[in-house]
A and B are shown apart, each in its own frame.
Chain A
Amino acid sequence: MALRVGIDLVSVDSVRESIREHGDRYLKRIYTEGELRDCHTDQGIIAERLAARFAAKEATLKVLRPADEAVPWRTMEVVRHGAGWVEMELSGHAASLAAEAGLSDFVLSISHEADYASATVIAALDLRNRSGDPMRKT
């Protein structure tokens, strides 16, 4: 069993600019309802948390290696569990790409400071279990 890893770093200020200039159109284009809920507090939306989620999506793309295929951001969702840890859940085309490549068991870690947020994604890569592999025996 091989592994594939992706990492990404996002400027929190760039996210603040997006919120300021594009508001809901930015938020609803990039993030799922669950992600927006997790980034919302009594003080409003927390840009650092959004930046960490965007970094997670980009880190996931680095694991998926989609060549030049479009992968909508909302098909890669950061799901936060009650105790605080997070997981990456794929749907739609992102899930299809993972299956075709033989990628599974995605694990995610995110972190943020005032200026930057980062994410690391690791997935198991099983070359014998690629759904897009014509030599695969089912």
Chain B
Amino acid sequence: MTEEISKIIAEHGRLSIDVAGLAPDTDLYQAGMTSHASVNVMLALEDHFDIEFPDRMLKRSVFESIGSIEAALVELQSEAVA
């Protein structure tokens, strides 16, 4: 999942640095991702993983790192299975 998230961030996040070098807890906003780019990342994640981020997850901390995005996706996928 981490690689898929990284690929989506590379394509849509408009970062000023190479995504391949990012640690799971690197702050994506500090790495150059704008708020609007995070919307494109969110929509691309929804397309790829066939999920929808609910309103409660539309906040900065969910999209601030590869690790936080992965945690949110795992939570949404587990909710979908339950």
Instruction: Give A contacts to B, CB under 8 Å.
Output: 8, 10-11, 14-15, 17-18, 21-22, 25-26, 29-30, 51, 54, 58, 66, 68-73
A14 with B34: CB separation less than 8 A: yes
Would you call the interface of chain A mostly helix, strand, loop, or mixed? helix
Instruction: Tell me which of B14, B43, B44, B57 contacts A70 (CB under 8 A).
Output: B57
Once the chains are docked, how many angstroms separate the CA of A71 from the CA of B56? 8
How many chain-B residues does the 8 Å CB contact rule pick out?
Answer: 18
A69 with B59: CB separation less than 8 A: yes
A11 with B36: CB separation less than 8 A: yes
A70 with B59: CB separation less than 8 A: yes
Instruction: Give B contacts to A, CB under 8 Å.
Output: 12, 14, 34-37, 39-40, 43-44, 47, 55-61
Q: List 24 A-B contacts (CB under 8 A).
A: A10-B34, A11-B14, A11-B34, A11-B36, A14-B14, A14-B36, A15-B36, A17-B40, A18-B36, A18-B39, A18-B43, A21-B40, A21-B43, A21-B44, A22-B43, A22-B44, A26-B43, A30-B39, A51-B36, A58-B36, A68-B59, A68-B60, A71-B58, A71-B59
Would you call the interface of chain B mostly helix, strand, loop, or mixed? helix
B34 / chain A contacts, CB cutoff of 8 Å: 10-11, 14
Closest-CB distance, B15 to chain A (whole angstroms) = 13
Closest-CB distance, B49 to chain A (whole angstroms) = 14
